[in-house]
Structure 1
Amino acid sequence: MRFLIFFLLTTNLIFTQSKNAIKDILINKEYDPESFFVGATIGHDMLSKPSITDLFLSEFTYLTPANSFKQTAIHPRPGVWNWKKYDDFIDFAEKNNLILRIHGPVSPQASKWAKNDNRTKEELLKNMEDFFTELCIRLNDEKTVKWMDVVNETVLRNGDWFKEKPGDSAWENPWTQIGLNDDGFPIYIIRAFEIANKYAPNIKLVYNHNGGMEKKMWEKVMETISYLKNMGLRVDGIGWQAHIRDKNGVGLVKDDLNYLSYLIDWTHTNSMEFHVTELNYWLDNENPKSLSVQKRQVISYNNIVNTLISKKNNGVVTLNFWGLFDRKGPGDFPKNILSLYDQNGNPKQSLYSLKKSLINESTGLIFEKR
């Protein structure tokens, strides 16, 4: 039965490929160009590869550059500034009339200098403030930039603050050790939003986050956003990365999808936008080309896309795919990271199915047990 559902989903999808680019579907189906966006991420190394940039430009007008605007890339330590990747992406966006979301938040993706155990709170705060102030000042005058992520990956799945770890090579958040304020909120989060509010008034500000639909985690994120807004600070949107962790099951089950719906509603009710910022599909020890994997990826993507479509009249929703192509993962899990095209650049059923959902303005969900 499950495989029958998959074949029904993918039947007659080929017509949606070459003559139905995503950017054209959004226009032809009259999606609101101010409230519904679909885009993708490419890395700086891909800007010099016309086969990749041409593919991106054939489908999308919304771009999130990969990691080229973060502290580790721009201001990894005192006295060092690197703006080439920034300039290259801005030039590419201006040349091609793209809309940018800048993924350069104060986040765990920090330099080895910042993660060094000998760093003092004062050193960390100064580096963070210097980096983020200069980034905000520059971005504020960029006509192609619509959004920027201010912070990222602040809370663990159990609801605790994400903190530092020993050494300088682990996935850690060194900024939390700057300290908590009297109300128990990390100073770096507050300072990042204070800086963005002051120096980037023209840019919409996003609180980006990872994980799944863990309630304790999102309750802490929502509490933090409410606290910032009560301080008089502007927070324009919530971002959810949506790295779908699929270990022989569909990424989000019914309870997860219901909570995603609630989270989007809460965001819109509080006059904010909802962004799916880094959608891809993380795979364990399975053949990424197998029919079972393709089926589960299609269902996982469709459930997220269709949920966003169902909310499009309530407020701004955006969808960004983190990478265009399938690729190897960094370790044991994920061993493979899947996207819209295979490693050879061939379109996959996940792309065809995405286009079909957009054309049909689909809102139906498929629930499976994990």
Structure 2
Amino acid sequence: MNFFYLRNSLILFFSFAISFAQNENFLVGSTLIHRELKSNYANLFLKDFKYLTAMNAAKQSNINPTNGSWKWDQIDNFVQFSNDNKLLFRLHSPIGPQCSKWIKDDARTPDELMASLNEFLFRLLDRYKDFENIKWIDVVNETILASGKWLGSKPGNTKWENPWLDIGLDENGYPLYIIRAFELADKYAPNKKLVYNQNGGMQIPMWNKLKETVLYLKSKGYRVDGIGWQGHLMNNKGLKQFVENLDEELKKLSDLIDWAHSNKLEFHITELDYYNDGENNAFNSVKKQAEVYQKLMNLLQEKSKNGLVTVNFWSMGERKSYRGKKGYYMSIYDNDTIPTKTYEVVKKFININK
């Protein structure tokens, strides 16, 4: 055989092998809302994606809205949709602030809260443990404030709060609800990857607390397979800073991903979108969103050389704000399901998974 032909063939083979390995480590997906399962957004999703997250269907507030009531229809529909279409599925069912008003009731005792946590996670995980296409479970979410302090409860039942912290702390100051959630997830879903998800920006005290907590859980024998960052860009002060000081903030994100991979953890961006508050400035434009996503996706693809990185768009199209805000969240399609400039930017990264 010709030496140069053999050499070139080997080069092509190893180049393909490296490329394939990198592609396997970089996964791009999107979220659908339950009502979108029978809409054009579902068709657009299936055209491009193989990785799905249900927005709110698997949260405790949706499944267990009142004491003693259980509603599985929405998340069952999602699991069936993902199974029918051979999709990888993320079970976004974290213990955290998105819980029922009856859980937030100030009269709840620590014992009652723990009993509710135990029942919810057992029922959920036992129901879906045998679905092989469910690859990840968000076990806890939004547990830490930007200051590095634990997010706790507040008076009443209508605020953004985390009543689960009232269950208490262990002897080393770590929340019992977090420890118990990972213990149950490992016990009842041993074949799923378990993720510790977090909101906010790149605030150092917050991420230091998360790192300490993850390492503590692992030191106690509890399994944590990955960490997640929501990525609701421009949503608040810290997330505006991410966009306004993009290169500096991307460096912090890069360091965070490196930390995850060095500790044998996957890294997930779980809820990526871009908030437009309606003001007339350079940051509130699809053009700026596309520029930010370009740099962000470049970084994520590069980091996937060292370990798994996933990114999930938090909806396919525009989404109205909540909590009295006047703006809206942008993704990759507009309200008429027309792809935006941002879609054109991320399309090449989406195509990696095909």
TM-score (norm 1): 0.85
Q: CA deviation at 1:356?
A: 4.3
Q: CA deviation at 1:139?
A: 2.4
Amino acid in the other structure paired with 2:99: A
Q: What is the correspondence of 1:187-198 to structure 2 with a 5 Å cutoff?
A: 187-198=176-187
Task: Kindly provide the CA deviation profile for residues 16-67 of structure 1, in whole angstroms up to 9, marking residues without a partner as x.
Answer: xxxxxxxxxxxxx746454221000001111132x12111100101000111
Instruction: State whether residues 102 and 145 of structure 1, in contact with CA within 8 Å, keep that contact through their aligned partners in structure 2.
Output: yes
**Distance across 2 between alignment mates of 1:127 and 1:313:** 41
Instruction: State whether residues 201 and 242 of structure 2, in contact with CA within 8 Å, keep that contact through their aligned partners in structure 1.
Output: no
Which of 246, 250, 263 aligns to 2:243? It is 250
Q: What is the correspondence of 1:5-84 to structure 2 with a 5 Å cutoff?
A: 30=20, 32=22, 34-49=24-39, 51-84=40-73
Instruction: State whether residues 94 and 141 of structure 2, in contact with CA within 8 Å, keep that contact through their aligned partners in structure 1.
Output: yes
Which of 283, 292, 296 aligns to 2:276? It is 283
Aligned to 2:93, what secondary structure does the other structure show? coil
Task: Kindly provide the CA deviation profile for residues 159-198 of structure 1, in whole angstroms up to 9, marking residues without a partner as x.
Answer: 0100111111111111011111110011000000000111
> Any gaps of 5 or more consecutive residues in structure 1?
1-28, 361-370
**Distance across 2 between alignment mates of 1:103 and 1:241:** 12
Q: What does residue 216 of structure 1 align with?
A: 205
Query: Which is worse superposed, 84-93 or 227-236?
Result: 84-93
> Any gaps of 5 or more consecutive residues in structure 2?
1-18
**Distance across 2 between alignment mates of 1:358 and 1:68:** 25
> Are 2:337 and 1:345 equivalent residues in the alignment?
yes
Query: Which is worse superposed, 266-275 or 240-249?
Result: 240-249
Structure 1 residues 109 and 252 mapped into 2: Cα distance closer, same or farther (>3 Å)? farther
TM-score (norm 2): 0.88
Give the % identical residues: 46
Query: Which is worse superposed, 291-300 or 143-152?
Result: 291-300
Task: Kindly provide the CA deviation profile for residues 46-98 of structure 1, in whole angstroms up to 9, marking residues without a partner as x.
Answer: 1132x121111001010001111111111234321111112111110111110
Which of 306, 318, 326 aligns to 1:314? It is 306
Q: CA deviation at 1:286?
A: 2.5
Instruction: State whether residues 321 and 339 of structure 1, in contact with CA within 8 Å, keep that contact through their aligned partners in structure 2.
Output: yes
**Distance across 1 between alignment mates of 2:93 and 2:280:** 33
Which of 77, 101, 121 aligns to 1:132? It is 121
Aligned to 2:54, what secondary structure does the other structure show? coil
Instruction: State whether residues 133 and 199 of structure 1, in contact with CA within 8 Å, keep that contact through their aligned partners in structure 2.
Output: yes
**Distance across 2 between alignment mates of 1:255 and 1:149:** 28
> Are 2:255 and 1:262 equivalent residues in the alignment?
yes
Instruction: State whether residues 298 and 350 of structure 1, in contact with CA within 8 Å, keep that contact through their aligned partners in structure 2.
Output: yes
Structure 1 residues 86 and 332 mapped into 2: Cα distance closer, same or farther (>3 Å)? closer
Query: Which is worse superposed, 58-67 or 302-311?
Result: 302-311
> Are 2:96 and 1:103 equivalent residues in the alignment?
no
> Are 2:296 and 1:304 equivalent residues in the alignment?
yes
Q: What does residue 75 of structure 2 align with?
A: 86
Q: CA deviation at 1:247?
A: 5.1
Amino acid in the other structure paired with 1:111: S
Q: What does residue 8 of structure 2 align with?
A: none
Instruction: State whether residues 283 and 336 of structure 1, in contact with CA within 8 Å, keep that contact through their aligned partners in structure 2.
Output: yes
Task: Kindly provide the CA deviation profile for residues 94-145 of structure 1, in whole angstroms up to 9, marking residues without a partner as x.
Answer: 1111000110010100000001111111111101110011212222211110
**Distance across 1 between alignment mates of 2:319 and 2:94:** 24
> Are 2:227 and 1:235 equivalent residues in the alignment?
no
**Distance across 2 between alignment mates of 1:357 and 1:64:** 18
Aligned to 1:119, what secondary structure does the other structure show? coil
Structure 1 residues 54 and 357 mapped into 2: Cα distance closer, same or farther (>3 Å)? closer
Aligned to 2:274, what secondary structure does the other structure show? strand
Amino acid in the other structure paired with 2:37: L
Amino acid in the other structure paired with 1:151: V
**Distance across 1 between alignment mates of 2:204 and 2:128:** 33
Q: What is the correspondence of 1:324-363 to structure 2 with a 5 Å cutoff?
A: 324-331=316-323, 333=325, 335-356=327-348
Q: CA deviation at 1:293?
A: 1.2
Task: Kindly provide the CA deviation profile for residues 173-226 of structure 1, in whole angstroms up to 9, marking residues without a partner as x.
Answer: 110111111100110000000001111001000000100000000000000000
User: Number of paired residues?
Assistant: 331
